[in-house]
Structure 1
Amino acid sequence: MKSAEILRASLKWGGLLALAIAVVGGGLGYLVDGNRGLTSALIGTAMSIVFLGITAASILFANRWFGTDLFVPIFFGIVMGGWLIKFVLFLVLAVLLKDQPWINPTVLFLSIIAGVIGALTVDVIIVSKSRMPYVSDVTLPGDEKRPN
């Protein structure tokens, strides 16, 4: 499995996970605090999946420059830029949503945490099953005689 395939699988399964968290979290939020809890769970799920999706999308976008002389600085510039965007966006949303009467902060927090832990679990499972080599361009003894 190539890195682009791994990231696409991560985005796909992360999206399905977000849907599951939205349904379960929204239902629990509604039971706890009515429409306020439902809204909080949906916003928290959307926040977590958008933030985690930015990372995979930025890596997929940065990989377009693979093989060029400036790949490494472009790659890290794009990925770090995505991280900074996520950080600023999170701070802005935290300040804007902090004292809103239509938000249940506990439900919002728990749905964000569920999204983050779930997405990390999905990523670990996908990467561990990917069989991606740890190193490249390695020649083992006897490989020089073996046809490619």
Structure 2
Amino acid sequence: MIEISQTNNRREDRTKIKNKGKSSSVGRKDSDFKTELKNAVSFDVQGSLDDLLSDLSDQEKRFLDSQSLYDLNRYKALVQKILKIVLEESIETRTIKRRKSDNKADFLVADIINKKLLEITQNLTRSNPAFNLMKTIEEVRGLILDLVH
């Protein structure tokens, strides 16, 4: 024979249902978490950006010393990585033209940097003196610093 016992589960179920509509402190904790995460990511990106700029300086020296295609490609990769961080990771950038609030000027600067990288490649294949290469590299560095700072 089966024995059926009464339980007070109904009372517990009712309390669960009643408390379901009440708000908890999760929303407040969630916004605090988002703020902390945003601050941490911002700090991390800035730290890695500073590291990349330091690496860029070292790579510029290596490239100017060797003037090889290998070092040029490493230099280009560093420049592209910096541009990606600046343009895609939503770091505030200073635009050349402040008339509009869009990012057209940022992309204009990125376009100029790409043209300068192409110019460096052409100068390297033509065996131009290191002075011309250094001049173009300094222009690229200046444009990057304009975007970053």
> Which TM-score band (shorter chain)?
0.3 to 0.5
TM-score by length of 1: 0.34
Q: Which has the higher contact order (CA 8 A, sep 6+)?
A: 1
**Which structure's CA Rg is the greater one?**
2
